[in-house]
Chain A
Amino acid sequence: MGGENRFMGLAYLSPYIIGLLLFTAVPFVASFVLSFTDYSLMSAPHFVGLKNYIKLFTGDRTFNKSLSVTLIYVFSTVPLKLAFALFIAVILNYKLKFINFFRTAFYVPSILGGSIAIAVLWRYLFQSGGGHEGLVNMALMAAGFEPVNWFGDPTNALFTITLLRLWQFGSAMVIFLAALQSVDNSLYEAAAIDGAGKWRTFFFITLPLITPVIFFNLIMQTVQAFQEFNGPYIITKGGPLKATYLLPLYIYDEAFKHFKMGYASAIAWVMFAIIMVLTLIAFWSSRHWVYYAGDKRS
């Protein structure tokens, strides 16, 4: 804007800048420094070098378990969720009656999102054993299947958390839908004239055009999946046999239950490093598969 002091913009940004320094930048650095200390809140933190990290990677079986559970969870939940969200978005992208009803209905579980009420509900839906079968098992039995031990069995417990997050595919779906609707219709018409079938059109026209949004959803969902806390904390309490003891639960316990602030920071930093590496790989690889038509999305 003409004639204004060139620092006027900075004045408007001042709350952000203060917040950035105080609540993000300084804590970010502090967390890294803390990860090289022992700090129990009782006395000043003292520097222990790489001790925390060495212990994590050589003598901590809980960490090994928690890390592998986290990776399994992220690498199963994110692709399934994205594939499902895209599949439904493609169906919703057709002109059908009541389509707005379905768009809304599919989004409702996402709005309730990480609420504790939904986690509680999940716990009851998948209840099993002790003469108390939850809704899911009742449905299975009605269909002639054996009831499943959802939370008691370590292999099923993590899957139940995954199902909860798959149920919340709505935001990814809406973003896909917006992208699908912005695809230029003339491209489809051209493809139809060239005699391309449905599948070819999807894989050679639709999919390449929405890669920026696939990329966006991939990154956001991955970062989010790594931070999953409410689900396992409420539904399975991390069990059985630590089968759902995701890293955020471990960090929470170490920091706020055992007050091992230094050790917890080290776990957080390992997790952060993994997310960073995965994000960088995604960004690096995006040059080969993300297609930007013009300059629509940054």
Chain B
Amino acid sequence: MTEQTLSSTLSARDLEAIEARKREQRKVLISSIFRYIILFAVGLIMLYPLIWLVGASFKTNAEIFSGAGFWPRSPTLSGYVEGWKTSTPYTFGRFFLNTFLILIPKLIGTAISATAVAYGFARFEFPGKKILFASLIAILLLPNVVTRIPQYLLFREFGWLDSFLPLWVPSAFAGDAFFVFMLVQFLRAIPRDMEEAARVDGANSWQTLIFIVVPLLTPALISVCLFQFMWSMNDFLGPLIYISSVDKYPVSLALKLSIDTTEAFDWNKILAMSVLTIAPALIVFFMAQKYFIEGISAGGVKG
């Protein structure tokens, strides 16, 4: 924009231009105000239920239904204390432990297998590459529903039912095609100079992968791990199908169990435990927002 300079002698045309400029500015202002109104309204709808949830977890049962306000009148920790105990012989601590026992091997398996496979796709030519890459896209589009029943029968044959193996193993075989796809996209955007230099210096492809590619890939790998963390934390159907003993339940199943076993009266317990189960995801999200947004824009995430 050019600066408007006011001289003492203004022609009619200048005045008109100033008027037009003012009108333009007013239009921009009105449109900004309009945008803010929409953003605040939508923001309220987006966040208020979550904020309310946190407040309600400190309320008594009676108060939860007495008003839409956030602040508890007489804050109590009883929802947390009682909810943590659960109606099972185990506390929520056990269910959190199980959740992380499912999550950690899954994350490690995903990170290693997706990196290796993406490296193979992005840096090598080999017979069948096109078809294999097409299969990756096909898996992205294939609804899980179709393969779920035979997978269940397969894991049953293996004797893996009621263990964490059905949840771990497919991830270790690069089963989450989306992550491979994301890393391939990312690798394609990285120049190969450093890798070629390493090769000239006598490094084999393994060494190149570990010492050159992985460090370059770190931001993308963080995105992958974050998404896998979120999705695994949120996964419900997987554990529902494969895990049958309560002592192996992750938090998602434990929460479901708590709404089945307690009737309308114990809602503050359930809400308190809901807060706890979404807390890890929220904390991780706020610590690493930029990786999420970058990860999504890089590959276009489902979810």
Q: Which residues of A contact B (CB under 8 A)?
A: 1-2, 4, 6-13, 15-20, 22-24, 26-28, 30-31, 34, 41, 88, 91-92, 94, 96, 102-118, 120-121, 123-125, 127, 130-135, 138-139, 142, 167-168, 171, 174-175, 177-178, 213, 216-217, 219-220, 223-224, 226-227, 229-230, 233-234, 247-248, 251-252, 255-256, 261, 264-265, 268-269, 271-272, 275, 279
Task: Say whether, besides A11-B120, A16-B132, A112 and B46 are in contact (CB < 8 Å).
Answer: no
Stretch in B9-17, B86-94, B147-155 with 4+ CB within 8 Å of A: B147-155
- Minimum C-beta distance from A89 to chain B (A): 12
Q: A residues within 8 A CB of B297?
A: 174-175, 177-178
Main secondary structure of the interface of B (DSSP, over half): helix
Nearest CB of A to B125, in Å: 7
Taking A16-B113, A41-B156 as known contacts, 7 extra A-B pairs with beta carbons closer than 8 A to each other, sorted by chain A number, are: A1-B195, A4-B124, A9-B120, A31-B147, A120-B274, A124-B267, A142-B68
Q: A112-B234, A112-B281 are in contact. Are A120 and B270 (CB under 8 A)?
A: yes
- Near A by CB (< 8 A), chain B positions 31-53 give 32, 35-36, 38-39, 42-43, 45-47, 49-50, 52-53
* B215 at interface, CB cutoff 8 A: no
Count B-side interface residues using an 8 Å CB cutoff.
93
Contact indicator B144/A216 (Cβ below 8 Å): no
Contacts of A4 in B (CB 8 A): 124, 205
A135–B252 Cα gap in the complex (Å)? 23
The proximity string for B residues 73-86 relative to A, scoring 1 for CB distances below 8 Å and 0 otherwise, is: 00000000000000
Shortest beta-carbon distance from A75 to chain B in Å: 17
Can you name the residue of chain B whose Cβ is closest to the Cβ of A28?
B147
Q: Identify the B interface with A (CB < 8 A).
A: 32, 35-36, 38-39, 42-43, 45-47, 49-50, 52-53, 64-65, 67-68, 113, 116-117, 119-121, 123-129, 132, 135-136, 139, 141-154, 156, 170, 172-175, 180, 195-196, 199, 205, 230-231, 233-234, 236-237, 241, 251-252, 255-256, 259, 264, 267, 270-271, 273-275, 277-278, 281-282, 285, 289, 292-293, 296-297, 300-303
CA distance A118 to B274 in the complex (A): 8
Given contacts A115-B233, A116-B255, contact A175 B146 (CB under 8 A): no
CA distance A127 to B124 in the complex (A): 56
Specify the chain A residue showing the minimal Cβ separation from B43. A105
- Please determine whether B151 and A27 come into contact, CB atoms closer than 8 angstroms: yes
Question: In angstroms, how far is the closest chain A Cβ from the Cβ of B201?
Answer: 14
Q: Which residues of A contact B289 (CB under 8 A)?
A: 104
Do residues B117 and A230 form an inter-chain contact, with CB atoms below 8 A? no
User: In the complex, what's the smallest C-beta–C-beta distance from B40 to chain A, in angstroms?
Assistant: 9
> Could you tell me if B113 and A117 are in contact, using CB atoms closer than 8 angstroms?
no
Q: Which residue of A lies closest to B255 (CB)?
A: A116
| Smallest Cβ-Cβ distance to B258: which chain A residue | A120
Task: List B contacts of A6 (CB < 8 A).
Answer: 125-127
CA distance A11 to B206 in the complex (A): 11
- 6 nearest A-B pairs in the assembled complex, by CB-CB distance: A9-B124, A19-B173, A12-B120, A27-B150, A178-B297, A117-B274
